[in-house]
Amino acid sequence: MINTTLCYITRGNDVLMLHRVKKKNDMNHDKWIGIGGKFEGEESPDECLLREAKEETGLTLTSWRCRGVVTFLSDCCQGEFMYLFTADGFEGDLKVCDEGDLQWVSREFLDQLPKWEGDAIFLKLLWEDAPFFLLTLRYRGDKLVQAILNGKPLTKT
């Protein structure tokens, strides 16, 4: 299992999204995701979050909150513990990202963009300001086959 961070930076009703279109052999190719990445060395979740935000966006986060931990399990890639954050304070100017195109997207439009099926579950929890949560998402290929929130299976809608 690897440790990663994922952050949704907000500005009013807009969310900074990364359209993953630049990296070769990217399992997230053409998906819209938040920013983040893998822990390096002995980084804490906060340290990884701040480094990845700066590297991918050029922004320095000044206000953020850890919202939950998402466990990704898959039959085709390594498992992952993802520390999920939101941030509503930052300084600096956006830079060009070498992993994809950064774009501010309204929350309403976000639902229409291609993303992982399980992302809709945790995005809904974020926008509802749910308390800290544990979410397990199990995939077969790119198909979500199981979602467990705080120990209870979710029915797929």
Q: Which of 111, 119, 113 is nearest to 139 (CA)?
A: 119
pLDDT at 31 over 50: yes
Q: How many domains does the chain fold into?
A: 1
Lowest mean pLDDT among 10-24, 72-86, 124-138: 10-24
pLDDT given for residue 156 in this prediction: 55
What domain range includes position 122? 2-153
pLDDT in tens, 44-96: 999 999 999 999 999 999 999 999 999 999 998 889 999 999 999 999 999 99
- Domain containing residue 148: CATH number: 3.90.79.10
Query: Which is more confident, 62 or 97?
Result: 62
